[in-house]
Structure 1
Amino acid sequence: MAPLTAPFTLAHLSDPHLPPLPTPRLVELAGKRALGYVNWRRNRHKYQRREVLDALVADIKAQAPDHIAVTGDLVNLAMEAEFAPARAWLDSVGPPDRVTTIPGNHDAYVRATRHRFGESFAPYLAGDDGSTGFPAIRRRGPAALISLSSAVPTLPLMATGTLGREQLAALAGVLEQLAAEDVFRVLLVHHPLKSRAWQKRLTDSAALLALLKRHGVELVLQGHDHVHSTMWFEGPNGNIPAVGVPSASALAHGRYPAAAYNLFAIEKDNAGWRCEQVVRSLDHGLQVREIKRARLI
């Protein structure tokens, strides 16, 4: 591959939990949704704010990245009334050829509507071959974006994710294919590869890590935990960075930081790939500023 004249820039945000929450119908407030609604009314509405999300997206647009990745949890309780506003919001972020999204656990909150995310956001999920299954591959500039879905309905008080044998088997083939190509491989997954809490873990992370150790990628982008994080995992040619980011609509609260996004500058150099991370975060005045810059590769 010839050297690029300028780095390819990839923005990463996650967990917008699009506020405000629509008023639920009584029939929708059963089981897990009832607990989620109580949590929203008591706590989450105080710090998941639309003005925060709007400020973050405005700053992303000002940075003019080549592509934007959104790693799940666009909605909150997966009620029917949430999906149309979430799709309108995603359309405002950018067109499907410039934005890639994957589902999070809140997007598949209950079995009754677990299919709605795929229906509502199909153009933003589809691989280059037009398929909307997972894994999906999107090639953008020097990058190959590999989308996974860890979104499955779970019992109340649980927020685990699962890829499943079929998706993992397909991923093995995708990674083997891409390993032979000169592309910067970016894996998108909602649940972190190493969980901070048992009830929020990726249940088959060991199988995923084994695939990455064998075949490798250059970068993993993840969400779910609502915190800044950089984890390192073994790959065939060195350690792989897995980077998480706070909720895109959150005010700082407790141990959770304010909304932020990551901007990655990716380019080829003589030694291989170069990837620099810039973290841009909301301050107390709803202004977005750079708070960190680091070279990952």
Structure 2
Amino acid sequence: MVSSPHEAMHRIFQEYPGLFSRVSEVLGIDIPPPTSATVLPTDLTEARPVERRVDTLLRIETRDDEPFLLAIEAQGKKDPRKTTSWPYYVSYLHNRYGGLPVLLLIVCQDHATAEWAARPLTIGLRQWPTLTLNPLVAGPHNMPVITNVAEARKDLALATLAAITHADNPDVGAILKTLSAALREAPEDIADPIVELTAQGLGNRPAAQQWRNLVAVDTSFYTSFMSEEIRDEGRAQGLAQGQAQGQTLGQAQSLLLILEVRGIVVTDEMREKITDCTEPGRLREWLERAATASSAEDVFGQPTGR
């Protein structure tokens, strides 16, 4: 039950809105005198369901028996809406989980976003902030650049996050090469998630293709989805190349046979020219000419204007 003192201590400000100006003077806070005040509804219950989701939420237990909540947000660019969302997440989680401490970690891939995300978020007045949120930020400005294979092997998860946050680093090729080399001796159940997470983290950047090439070479024994996809692409590419080579070889052999049947002398230089040709269109043109040619010049001369 709400007590009378409770009611009096807040309702007096409804009756005398200007009172706060004088209270602030007593408390030593320099706040300009109000020109007006409006009494607003006090019910803070959501009028309609609003879906709010933090990217990842973990309850962390510690050796000191001081558990806390770790809320993790991946931030790809500056977003002014987060200045209201992030404080809400923290205050809501603190209330829902019985007052457990809440730590907000922001993970970024570029310096500008990391610098923006690291700024304290203040709710309140300039003279007296009511709530200040200090996000912890991990990004290219503070994550290590790992180009030593032994160092990467010591902590593959950290090496993976470091590679992802440095996706736009000019030396990302060396970073990814180090990570792929570190995975060579890792068990599949450890390597597979790292292969996939790194690919996802690189997105559609040029570095993503570098990673695919490295995985195809350095981790050829893995059975992860991306590794299988890369090998499938390689097999398809190899099949296509084989078919193309087979086609040109067949055309070259047919051309030599036609020339022989028609009694046209084929010099070593001409034979080499035919067998070394990798252009099916050119070989087809020579074949068509050989059908009616009376000399080598008729076959290998300039195009007839077809």
Q: Which has the larger radius of gyration?
A: 2
Provide TM-score, normalisation by structure 2: 0.30
TM-score, normalised relative to structure 1: 0.31
Q: Relative contact order: is structure 1 or structure 2 higher (C-alpha 8 Å, sep ≥ 6)?
A: 1
Q: Which has the higher helix share?
A: 2
More strand by share: 1
